[in-house]
Every structure is written in C-alpha cells, then in structure tokens.
Amino acid sequence: MSKPLVKPGSPLSAVVTGAGRGIGRAIALELVGHGYQVVVTDLDASAAEATARDIGAALGRGLDVTDPEANRDVAARACQIAPLGAWVCNAGVLVEGDLTALSVDQARMMVDVNVLGVMWGVRAAADTFRDQRGATGGEIGIIASLSAHAPVAGLSVYAATKAAVLSLTTSLAAELHKDKIRIHAVCPDGVDTAMVESMDAGGDVRAALAAGVLLTPPQVARELVDMFGTGRVYKTLPPWRGVVARTASLAPRAAVRIDPLMRKVGARRLRKAGKR
C-alpha cells in the first residue's frame, strides 16, 4: 500500500456509498488504510454497520443515495467525526435485459441510483467542501464502467447510466476545479462481485464479461484511491480494454458484428471453467 494520504494528527473523514460489500467495501478498507475516518454507507444499514466494524471504519449507517437530503445528512454526520476529505459514489444497481424486456420500475431504478444518486452525492460533498473553513478542496471518486465507452447488448440501460456518469465526471472536473475539488472516476471491466455472480451464468451478458478481464474489488479500489491528490479525471481498467471499447464506439456498425464473436469466446471460457 502507498503512504497514507491523511497526515498524522490531521484526520479527515471519508464517505463511501454502497459499501456494505463488493467494490464499496474494498474502497472503504483502502481509505481506512490511508488514514481516513471512514463512514460506510449502504441501503442495507445492517450491512454497513457490520462492514464498518470489520474494517475498523468510524461509522456504518444506512443511506438511500436517491434521497438528496439523506446525502446531506451523511455529509453532516461525517463532519462531526472529522472534516470531510473524500466522498466516493460507488452505489449502483444492474438489471440484465434488453430495453424492451425491462419493466418501467427496473429502468427507472437504474437511472435513479446510478445517475441521480451520483449527482446528489457529488452535490452534498461539493457543498460541504466549500463550507469548511480553511478547506483546500477535497476528493470525489465515482465508479463508472467499461460499458460507458462502447455498445453492450443486454445492458443498454445500465450502460447508458454509466456513460452519463462518465460524462458528468468530465464536466464536473471543469466545474469544480476553481474550488480545488478533484473528481476521479474509474471505468472497470467486469469485477468479481455478487452483482456479476448473480447474472445468468448461461446468458449473453455473462459471456461478454467472460471475454474480457475479471478484476477484483481491491484492484479497483487501489486504482481509484491512487488518483486522489492528482489531476487524473478518469481511467479505464485495464487500459487496453478501454482502447478496444473506445474504438468500438467510433465504429458501432463493426462493433455490432464483432460482438457475437466475443460472446462466443466468453461462453467457451465459461464452459472450460465449469469443467475444472
């Protein structure tokens, strides 16, 4: 682990959303290791509290990221522990299926959590950073996705929300720069989490992920936190997948033709893994 970001004797608090498990938990643990007093939040309050105890965080509490005032309440609570130094918007949901197969509630949930939830978190964090006397800005982290860069059949709504979040990140980097607030996003390929595990093992989406690189939550956490204190706005994990994805976005017609081949590769990998 690299040296702590928080100076000894000058503790800062950090909030991580959706941190009861998976990537959020790994980010919270990474921030604890860097000296932050971490507030672990999750829609599942009991999971947040359990994670906080397990990793030595300052506090665990429930948070519905789609509620703007709830985000502000968490920011205020974090400031009672120590001045706010970082906020990570990790909470997200995914429902498999083509747009026409999703219910209205499923589509709306992804937009509400994945896009609006990030907006309300960023706003609560940014306002808090500005209000703190003698503050020198702060760090905002956002979990986007490789799907933000390229067409992903079967995940059209999810991919659209992540593309929106990445666009939001780049615009916010300019908006918040004058306040010395740094914003960073990571766009990982598939990550070995309960979300991915819950996907249909024989489905096209799982096959598409298997054709790429399955990362671990600690890998994503380290890459995000390593950007803190720098001017780096976003990075794709692994980098070569970002190049492939962005190339596909520039030639969507070709990507449509290649996609079935990639899914066949992934399905073959899954079959081989199942035989081991």
Q: Are 89 and 122 in contact (CB under 8 A)?
A: yes
Q: Are 78 and 15 in contact (CB under 8 A)?
A: yes
Q: What is the 3-state secondary structure (H, E, C) of 61-115?
A: EECCCCCHHHHHHHHHHHHHHCCEEEEEECCCCCCCCCHHHCCHHHHHHHHHHHH
**188 phi-psi bin (left φ>0, alpha ψ -120 to 50, beta other):** beta
Give the sign of the dihedral formed by CA 104, CA 110, CA 111, CA 116: positive
Q: Are 24 and 39 in contact (CB under 8 A)?
A: no
SS3 215: strand
Among the options 120, 158, 228, 234, which is catalytic?
Answer: 158
158 has catalytic annotation: yes
How is residue 12 annotated by DSSP? Answer: -
Instruction: Give the separation between CA 147 and CA 195, rounded to whole angstroms.
Output: 15
**Catalytic residues, which ones?**
158
